[in-house]
Structure 1
């Protein structure tokens, strides 16, 4: 005790209730300055203590909520023009508390250049208009990761209506933004797939109807006039029937294959493929057509070149490209097939000096919703799906296909696959 006033807080449990008391002890001195007694005062501070405990609990909950919501804050004080950064504000940018000096320059170091003006203009707006500003910006963390932040800047005014300080809350909305971007991407994919599906049914409705119309017309002629037709006329009609049936079959096959690609039903298998052997195998298919048109074939392919890829896809692509080249060159035309290895990819080109493709149609060659078809130099027909199938298959095995064409001068189709 030593003659000095002191106090302490005592917690008393009485049954179900708990009470806190602040107890004060004060000495009483006599004429000779000796202590002759002690004055004891007790104050019930239960309500105050309960408020303090509640405040501590609320603060803890607020801190936890801010942590879960990834919210940080800093304060700008008008008087003195200085900043206060919370520990979470440092962590927001991947820093440890007080790792860097508190300054506007440090803050700007974490902003992407294109976002400087966004942050600056909104902060100035708060200072000038004394209103709350809610905005978003991109930032870069200490480790280089790019994030998205939502910021709410709120001014606090003094009794004269002047800004005393501005409190800025930052929320990391990176995951929200990335999910929004994925949602947009998926929506676009879904929209494209719906368009493709609509085109798919449009092809079935239109392109299948045309050959069937011819097929029905020819069979009707046969069924009603067979007794009056000569052998030559019957042969001509049956030849056309065969062509129509073959066109329908090829179209159906192409549509079914495209559908299987879209639904991921095709399994690809890589094997070693001697490119020159495969090219010659495909050329053999078109021997009659090549001889009829007296086409000159030039092969500029390394005989030792081996490609590790899907043989079905490569044969399909070569068959389509060589078929088109044969179809669209004139008598005594030239077709050159060449290869090149570059950056771990094999590039194969099929070049012809045939009809070429109009410039306004080159962008539609690989689209299902804008297919380009026309007759060959000898009246050969096609359904326009072949090149689309080539592109779809190639992309799924890590390759691609490109086109260069000048109308009336020829075309160069180049496809690439990983070596």
Structure 2
């Protein structure tokens, strides 16, 4: 078993090391004693100047990882006024047990193997809970006889560098998201928006060219198609604007107590003409007393998109119903239809920005999948969740929750 040194013995050991160093220098330099002493004084002055002024942390430890010498910067880093206060202390006096144990393990491995640690980046967790980063080099320490007596190290504070790296990584991630958003935006503008716009142009051109030939019913049919295409284009443009604003953080979230049935009725009135053009019934069965804590504009966007999707994937003669059930802390809302339903593969892709999760509607309506992404973002901003229950050929139930305003 290795001998345990007392505090005084450690100080004596340091003094003995310095004495032996002087003897060694005298032996190597066969010069007059006075001249040797002068050289030693100069060298000691240089060493002291280095130790006192270098901003990096320099320290020497014994074989039990106790400090036997350190410079001023190291003492100051540990919250001490004098480097002598370091003598006899260990990392366990300053860092958390886990951090100190890691340093101890590294130093014992150096003593055992002789292998140094070079520029190791270490996260330091102090006893008070604060953290810092350092780049550390540790090497085995031998006396003048070549005997291993411990380790010595040089550390540099790199906390600012690590903070800058983390900020840069975060910025890179944000730039990737912005580029992804930009690419998706251009894709929608270049492809999905062009389709309904071309439909409006094509149908209106046919109508203008044959206005004197078509009878009243034919003209009405064309106008219904044009109106439907125009409304779908408007929804797409609104979604694009809302989505762009969410990506740049420009949408203000203002939750307040609102009557759910009143908001739903407003959206149904807006969407009723499109539903009627496909001979689809659109109704709500929500109690007038149900109130939710929600941003009114966001709630309208959510309902508009879910109802528009239901209309898109419901055949002529179908029905769509909006219901709300008040629970203790939340209100569960369902937009249900008896349309074509969603297959299992497509269900997995819903609400994901990196996959194409849209198909043509029952009347060849074009979609982007952007509306569902908006719904998810807005619902989650309220602290709610959204999910889908669907059976192919029987219809879909889009369900989401919002905070109950009663609580």
TM-score by length of 2: 0.68
Match of residue 84 from structure 1: 67
Deviations 1:356-403 (A, max 9, x none): 4334334543345534223456766544322223344455x5545422
Deviation (angstroms), 1:154: 1.6
Match of residue 311 from structure 1: 296
User: Would the aligned equivalents of 1:325 and 1:350 in 2 still touch at CA under 8 Å?
Assistant: no
**Structure 1 unmatched runs, 5+:** 1-42
Deviation (angstroms), 1:183: 1.9
| Separation in 1, partners of 2:77, 2:288 | 57
SS across alignment from 1:272? strand
Q: Is residue 405 of structure 1 aligned with residue 405 of structure 2? A: no
| Separation in 2, partners of 1:50, 1:125 | 32
Deviation (angstroms), 1:124: 1.6
What does 1:155-304 correspond to in 2, within 5 Å?
Answer: 155-158=140-143, 163-222=148-207, 232-286=217-271, 289=275, 292-293=279-280, 297-299=284-286, 303=289
User: Would the aligned equivalents of 2:114 and 2:140 in 1 still touch at CA under 8 Å?
Assistant: no
Deviations 1:124-159 (A, max 9, x none): 256414444332333432122344443211223456
Match of residue 334 from structure 2: 350
Say which is worse superposed, 85-94 or 164-173, in terms of deviation: 85-94
Match of residue 10 from structure 2: none
Match of residue 414 from structure 1: 400
Deviations 1:132-191 (A, max 9, x none): 433233343212234444321122345665544311234443443333223212211110
Compared CA separation, residues 402 and 88, structure 1 to 2 (3 A): farther
SS across alignment from 1:111? helix
Compared CA separation, residues 381 and 146, structure 1 to 2 (3 A): same
Compared CA separation, residues 417 and 367, structure 1 to 2 (3 A): farther
Match of residue 141 from structure 1: 126
Deviation (angstroms), 1:232: 4.8
TM-score by length of 1: 0.66
Deviation (angstroms), 1:50: 7.8
Q: Which has the higher contact order (CA 8 A, sep 6+)?
A: 2
Deviation (angstroms), 1:199: 1.1
Deviation (angstroms), 1:56: 5.2
| Separation in 1, partners of 2:249, 2:109 | 54
| Separation in 2, partners of 1:228, 1:285 | 32
Match of residue 53 from structure 2: 61
| Separation in 1, partners of 2:106, 2:379 | 49
User: Would the aligned equivalents of 1:329 and 1:352 in 2 still touch at CA under 8 Å?
Assistant: no
Deviation (angstroms), 1:61: 1.6
Match of residue 35 from structure 1: none
Deviation (angstroms), 1:200: 0.4
Which has the larger helix fraction? 2
| Separation in 2, partners of 1:160, 1:242 | 96
Compared CA separation, residues 416 and 129, structure 1 to 2 (3 A): farther
User: Would the aligned equivalents of 2:239 and 2:370 in 1 still touch at CA under 8 Å?
Assistant: yes
| Separation in 1, partners of 2:224, 2:168 | 53
| Separation in 1, partners of 2:368, 2:177 | 21
User: Would the aligned equivalents of 2:138 and 2:151 in 1 still touch at CA under 8 Å?
Assistant: yes
Compared CA separation, residues 376 and 202, structure 1 to 2 (3 A): closer
| Aligned residue-pair number | 360
